[in-house]
Amino acid sequence: MKLLRYGEPDAEKPGILDSDGRIRDLSKHVADIAGETLYPDGLDVLRAIDIDSLPVVDGNPRIGPCVAGIGKFICIGLNYSDHAEETGATVPPEPIIFMKATSAITGPYDRVEIPRGSEKTDWEVELGVIIGKTAKYVSEDEAMNHVAGYCVVNDLSERAFQAERQGQWTKGKSADTFGPIGPWLVTADEISDPQALKMHLEVNGHRFQNGSTATMVYGVRYLVSYLSHFMSLRPGDIISTGTPPGVGLGQKPNVFLRAGDVITLGIEGLGEQRQECIQA
């Protein structure tokens, strides 16, 4: 299933994509794509619905973040060996974990704000893992039972704020609009191997990132298990799993985002995003 949320910010309704690519309204069946809807039993209820019986959503509504009520937005740093190499960093012996503020979350086609004082706003296409069942001290063998699905994430970053302003990476990762997610939550049963997905990102039509989840250092199964030993993972939490090479910081000379730039990105089977950059 491809689940989504449509409508104006803070007033989105739940929806599902049919086989013809049309949005069907789910609001008579679930309140939102969040919480108990993401449980295995909740997803089974949605699978039992005859999609063709649902009302078609007319027009071209705004597509919002594909999940609501996100408690934690957990990110993994330097998780692609080829990306670590391009930035001059070494592959970490354990996953690098940082948090992105949930206030950064926005829709996949919403505009991205370049923060005031920013000189080094960068892009990162990433595979997002959406938790559907509470995970606490789970093994790698059990880990995938706790995944509801996947989505595209653009882990936008202000590199100067991140690396030159002291402290943790969070301040460079959490500006408003720095977390577009979606367009859809694609349920886990539709993705046979999350470690074999092509991914790409372009700025103004120029392709900078052209990678694959196959080059992850720590895969989805390992990350869910690993994180669950440090914190409980709850339905709706998102793990953004790192980016392949081709970020602006890795260009020679560096290339960073400016107002007027247009970012397009996508992951095989998970859809595409498009954002226009504006000045905050």
Question: 263 and 125, same structural domain?
Answer: yes
DSSP state of 187: E
Residue 173 in any domain: the answer is yes
Q: Which domain holds residue 46?
A: 2-53
Q: How many domains does the chain have?
A: 2
Q: What is the pLDDT of residue 105?
A: 98
Longest dimension (CA), the chain: 55
Report yes or no: 70 and 106 within 8 Å, Cβ to Cβ.
Answer: no
Question: What tokens does 236 get?
Answer: 């709706």
Report yes or no: 74 and 99 within 8 Å, Cβ to Cβ.
Answer: yes
Condensed to tens digits (0 to 9), the pLDDT of residues 114-166 reads 999 999 999 999 999 999 999 999 999 999 999 999 999 999 999 999 878 87
Question: 260 and 147, same structural domain?
Answer: yes
Question: 158 and 47, same structural domain?
Answer: no
- Contacts of residue 106, Cβ cutoff 8 Å, sequence gap at least 6: 65, 112, 176, 177, 179, 180, 181
Question: 243 and 124, same structural domain?
Answer: yes
Give Rg (Cα) of the chain: 18
Question: 251 and 116, same structural domain?
Answer: yes
Condensed to tens digits (0 to 9), the pLDDT of residues 51-71 reads 999 999 999 999 999 999 999
- Where in 132-231 does DSSP place strands (E)? 147-154, 157-158, 179-180, 185-187, 198-203, 206-212
Question: 177 and 49, same structural domain?
Answer: no
Calpha distance 271→273 (Å, rounded): 7
Q: How far is CA 206 from CA 46, 248, 265, in A?
A: 39, 12, 11
**Greater pLDDT, 6 or 83:** 6
Residue 64 in any domain: the answer is no
Question: 171 and 205, same structural domain?
Answer: yes
Partners of 186 in beta bridges: 2, 150
Residue 221 in any domain: the answer is yes
pTM of this structure? 0.96
Question: 83 and 37, same structural domain?
Answer: no
DSSP string, 7-64: SSTT--EEEEE-TTS-EEE-TTT-S-SSGGGGSHHHHHHHHTS-GGGSPBPPS-PPB-
Question: 180 and 78, same structural domain?
Answer: yes
Residue 240 in any domain: the answer is yes
Kindly report the CATH number assigned to the domain that includes residue 141.
3.90.850.10
Q: What is the pLDDT of residue 139?
A: 98
H or E element, residue 226: helix 220-228
- Per-residue pLDDT band for 83 (boundaries 50, 70, 90) equals confident
- Cα-based torsion angle of the residue sequence 249, 109, 70, 208 in order, rounded to the nearest 10 degrees: -20
Residue 68 in any domain: the answer is no
Q: How far is CA 140 from CA 30, 188, 190, 219, 230, in A?
A: 31, 16, 20, 10, 14
Question: 90 and 206, same structural domain?
Answer: yes
Question: 239 and 161, same structural domain?
Answer: yes
Q: CA triplet 134, 241, 152: central angle to 5 degrees?
A: 95
Condensed to tens digits (0 to 9), the pLDDT of residues 36-53 reads 999 999 999 999 999 999
- Contacts of residue 74, Cβ cutoff 8 Å, sequence gap at least 6: 97, 98, 99, 100, 227, 237, 238, 239, 240
Residue 273 in any domain: the answer is yes
Question: 153 and 261, same structural domain?
Answer: yes
Residue 242 in any domain: the answer is yes
Residue 16 in any domain: the answer is yes
